[in-house]
Structure 1
Amino acid sequence: MLKMQDINVLIEKFLARTISINERKILKKWVLQNKENLEFFKGEIRKRSEGTLYHHFDESQAFESFLTTINKKQSHKMRYNAILKYAAIFIGLMSLGYLAFQINNSPSSQMDTITSTGNTGKENNIIISLADGTQQIISSTGETLLTDKNGKTVARKKGQGLDFRQQDPQNSQNLVFNEIYVPYGQTFTITLSDGTKVWLNAGTRLRFPQNLNTISQNRVVYLDGEAYFDVTKDEKRPFIVNAQNIDIKVLGTQFNVTAYESDDNIATTLVEGSVNVYENSNPDAKVLLRPNYQTAFIRSSGAFSTQKVDTRIFTSWMEHKLIIDNLTFDQILKKLERAHNVIIVNNALHLKNEVYKGEFDNERIENILNIIASSTPFNYTIENNVITISK
C-alpha cells in the first residue's frame, strides 16, 4: 500500500525527470486507480504550471517542469488585449490509459466514435491521373502494376507507394505529365523515374513528368499541398519544385515543402544539401538555404522570412507524428482536419489564438482533443466526420 509520502516523492521525481521506468509504472497504476488519485495528480501538475507562458503537452518525452515565472508581455503579433495565462499538461505517463479513465468516468464527457460517412467517392481515395487522360484509384495496400489505356506498364504499385522507374520501354519519349492526388487522412510515396523519392502528405496534389529520363534540362514538378523530397543528384539537370508562387531549385538534396493553397505561407525546410528558393516572378532574388534552415514566403506581404529550425518538427508527419511548436489553436485544428479527414467547426472562439507546444505519436483525434481540453477546457461532439467544438 503506497503512502501519500511515497506518491509525492514519485511525482517530484517525475517532474524532475529522474523517475525510473519501474517507478513510472507504479505512479501510473496509482493515478489510474480512481478519480480522486487522478484529480490529485492533475492538481499537482497545475500548481507547477501557474505563471508559465504556454500550454505544454508532450506524449513522447517526460514532462518538463515549468517553475520559472516568465515576464508576461503582450505579444504584438498575437494582438491580444489580455495576456494569455497558460497551463501545463502531462501526457507521457497517462497516455491512453489516462484518456480511457477520463472518458469513461467524466460526466461532462462529450465523446462519440468517429464513423465513416459511407462516402466511397473518389474524393476519399488516392487518385492517379495519367498522361493519356485515364484516372485510376490507388489502393494504399497490395502490389500491382499500373498500366495505361493501351496496357503498357507505367509504374509498379507496392504497399503505400508507386515506383515509376520500371516503365514499359515502349512508352512515349515525349514530355507528358501525370498527376497524383492524396486525400485528407492519408499519406503516400512515389518514386519518380529518375529515382527521386517523394513523400506526399494529406490533401496534396503533385503533377510530374511520367519519364524524367527524356528531359535534357530542368526536371520540374508542380506541388499543391505538402511533400518531402529526396532528390536524385544530377548536376546537368536541376530539379525544380514549383509551389504556386515560388520555385525551389536543387541539384540533389532532401527538403520539405508546405504549400497548401489555403495557407498564407509557403515554407521550405532544408534537411541536407542546399536549395535556392525564389518567387516565380522574380527569379533573380534567390534565398540560399543551408541545412536546418527554413524560409517561408508570405503571400500576403510578398516577402520571405528565414530562420533556423528543428527540422524534425516539419518532417514528423512522415512518421504519423504531430509535433506542435508554438502553434495556435486554429493552426492545430487545420492540421487535424488534414491528417484525420474530418471537418472541425470551432465555436469556442476564445481559444482561437491560444498557443501550444507538444507531441503526439500516431494518436486518435479524440485523444488529442482531450489532451488539449484538459489544459484549456472545451466540449466537443462528433457526428460522422464533423467535430463541433463549444465552450
Structure 2
Amino acid sequence: MELKNQLLTKYLNNESSPDEVKELLSFFNTKDEAVLLKAIMERFELDKVEPLSRLNPDQDILDKVYLKITSRIESKTPVPLWPNFLKPLAAVAAGLFMIGFLFFYYSDHNKTERELARLEKEDIMPGSDKAYLTLANGKRIVLTDVANGKLASEAGIEISKTDGGQLIYTIKDNQEINGNQMNTIETPKGGQYQVILPDGSKVWLNAASKLTYPVSFAPPNNTRRVELDGEAYFEVTRDKARPFKVKTMQQEVEVLGTHFNINSYSKFAKTTLLEGSVKVSLTGSEQEPIVLRPGEQAFQKGTTLEVSAVNTDQVVAWKEGWFYFKSNTLSEVLAEAANWYDLEIIYEGKVPADRFTGKVNRSVTLSKFIKMLQLSDVQFSIEGRKMKISSN
C-alpha cells in the first residue's frame, strides 16, 4: 500500500520518472487494483463525489486514471483530456467523470498547493438556509436570526418559520383576506430557502435570488402571479380557475399545476419543465408563446424563444444538494461556486478553456470543491471573498 501511495503522490506532483510511471501502470488489471483504488479514493475524498456511472463506479475511476496516465507517457506536457489517439477509448468512457475531475497539472504546482493549504486553514463554508423576508408594511426579517414558529400575521394570513428552512403561509379561519399586500423573500449569495405559498404551492429559492408574491391569492387576484429574479424551482398546486404566472425580466411562464425550474441569473432566462405543462412567452416580443413538454427547456436566442431537450436532473441538481456539471466551461462552474460560496470571481488574462463533467456535493467547503474539480491549467488565489483565476 505504501509503495502505491508513494508512486501516486510522485505522479500527482509531476515528479515521476518514466520507470516510475510504468511501475504505477503495472498495478492496473492485477490483484493490486483494489489497493490502488483505495489510495485514489483517499487522496481525492471521493466519498463526497457521485460518479455518473452506477454500474461499476470503482472500475470507472480506475479506467479513467489509467487513460490519463497512459496519455502522459506520450508527452511531457499536459495533454487534452481525450487526445486523438485515445478518442476510441473516450467513446467507451462517455458519460463518466472526466479525468480532469481527478487530476490536474499546474505549471506552478507548488504555488497552488500552498494556496490550497492556506485556504484550508481559513476555509470558506458552503451555503445554507439563509434569507430575508420583507413584509407588506416594510418590516425586514432576517430568517436565520428569528426563532421558529409564528413570525407575523398579514391580510388574514399567518406566516411561520419551521426548523427545516421553510417559510409557510397559512390562511387563518374566519378571517377576511386581503389579496393586495405583497411580500418579498430574498436569498443572499450562499443562501437558499423554501416557501410554501397560501395556495400550497412550493418554491425552492437558490442562492442570490428574490421572489415577490401576494400574501394571499384571494380576490382581486384571479391569477396567482409572482415575480422572480434569480433561480427557483416550483411545484405549483393545480387550480384551473386561477392560473399561476411567474414573471422574470425576460420571460413570463403560465401554468395550471406543474413542476418546473426557472433560471434568470443572466439576461437570458431558461425555463425547464419537469412535470405537467407550461406556456412560456418572451417579454416584449410578438412571438407566440411556446408550450413545453416534460424534459424541455425554453431559452432565448437572439430575439426569439427556442426549445431544446435537456437533462432535468442536471437542471435541478442544486435543489437536491449537488453541483452537476456536464461539459460546462470553467466560467460556468465558477459562476455556480460564486453564488454558493459567496465569492467574487476575477479573471486575469484569458479564461482557460477547460470543461468539466461530474457531480460534487454542495455541502463541501470551498477547498474541497477546488480539490475535487482539480482545475487543470488554472492557477488561483483567494483574498477574503475574492477568487482570482489565471491561466498558465
Shift of residue 354 of structure 1? 3.1
Whether the 8 Å contact between 2:212 and 2:226 is mirrored in structure 1 is: yes
CA offsets 1:9-48 (integer angstroms, 9 cap, x no match): 76459xxxxx9xx965x324444899xxxxxx96752425
Letter in 1 for 2:160: R
> Within 5 A, what are the aligned runs for 1:273-284?
273-282=276-285
Whether the 8 Å contact between 1:198 and 1:227 is mirrored in structure 2 is: yes
Q: Does 1:338 align with 2:361?
A: no
Residue aligned with 2:336, SS: helix
Q: 1:147 aligns with which of 148, 152, 155?
A: 152
> Within 5 A, what are the aligned runs for 1:246-265?
246-260=251-265, 263-265=266-268
CA offsets 1:161-204 (integer angstroms, 9 cap, x no match): 10002557546424211011001111100000000000000000
Q: 2: distance between equivalents of 1:108 and 1:201?
A: 30
Q: Does 1:357 align with 2:357?
A: yes
Q: Does 1:285 align with 2:285?
A: no
Instruction: Give the corresponding residue for 2:36.
Output: 27
Shift of residue 126 of structure 1? 1.6
Whether the 8 Å contact between 1:155 and 1:167 is mirrored in structure 2 is: no
Q: 2: distance between equivalents of 1:323 and 1:9?
A: 33
CA offsets 1:295-335 (integer angstroms, 9 cap, x no match): 1124xx22112111110111000122111122211121111
Q: Does 1:323 align with 2:316?
A: no
Q: Does 1:45 align with 2:68?
A: yes
Whether the 8 Å contact between 1:177 and 1:210 is mirrored in structure 2 is: yes
> Within 5 A, what are the aligned runs for 1:1-391?
8=25, 11-12=28-29, 24=34, 26-31=35-40, 45-47=68-70, 52=81, 67-68=88-89, 88-89=99-100, 91=102, 108-109=112-113, 110-111=115-116, 112-113=118-119, 115=122, 126-139=131-144, 143-147=148-152, 154-159=158-163, 160-167=165-172, 170=175, 172-260=177-265, 263-282=266-285, 285-298=288-301, 301-351=302-352, 353-362=353-362, 363-374=364-375, 376-390=376-390, 391=392
Q: 2: distance between equivalents of 1:316 and 1:291?
A: 16
Q: 1: distance between equivalents of 2:100 and 2:205?
A: 32
Which segments of 5 or more consecutive residues in structure 2 lack a partner in the other structure?
Answer: 5-21, 44-63, 73-78, 92-97
Instruction: Give the corresponding residue for 1:78.
Output: none
CA offsets 1:180-235 (integer angstroms, 9 cap, x no match): 10011111000000000000000000000101134552110000000000000001
Residues 272/283 of structure 1: CA separation in 2 closer, same or farther (3 Å cut): farther
**Aligned-pair RMSD on alpha carbons?**
3.8
Residues 178/27 of structure 1: CA separation in 2 closer, same or farther (3 Å cut): same
Shift of residue 289 of structure 1? 0.3
CA offsets 1:77-115 (integer angstroms, 9 cap, x no match): xxxxxxxxxx73354xx9xxx9xxx9xx95651122375
- TM-score with structure 1 setting the length: 0.72
Q: 1: distance between equivalents of 2:389 and 2:283?
A: 40
CA offsets 1:132-177 (integer angstroms, 9 cap, x no match): 2211111188522111599x86311002110002557546424211
Q: 1: distance between equivalents of 2:26 and 2:174?
A: 70
Which structure shows the higher helix fraction?
2
Instruction: Give the corresponding residue for 1:77.
Output: none
Of 126-135 and 380-389, the range deviating more from structure 2? 380-389
**Bigger RCO of structures 1 and 2 (CA < 8 A, at least 6 apart):** 2
Of 182-191 and 107-116, the range deviating more from structure 2? 107-116
Q: 2: distance between equivalents of 1:249 and 1:321?
A: 28
Identity, in percent, stands at 23
Residue aligned with 2:290, SS: strand
Shift of residue 365 of structure 1? 2.3
Whether the 8 Å contact between 1:134 and 1:148 is mirrored in structure 2 is: no
Q: 2: distance between equivalents of 1:199 and 1:32?
A: 33
Q: 2: distance between equivalents of 1:51 and 1:136?
A: 50
Q: 2: distance between equivalents of 1:371 and 1:116?
A: 15
Whether the 8 Å contact between 2:250 and 2:267 is mirrored in structure 1 is: no
Letter in 1 for 2:347: N
Q: 2: distance between equivalents of 1:225 and 1:106?
A: 38
Residues 343/216 of structure 1: CA separation in 2 closer, same or farther (3 Å cut): closer
- TM-score with structure 2 setting the length: 0.72
Residue aligned with 1:276, SS: strand
Aligned pair count reads: 328
Letter in 2 for 1:183: P
Shift of residue 277 of structure 1? 0.2
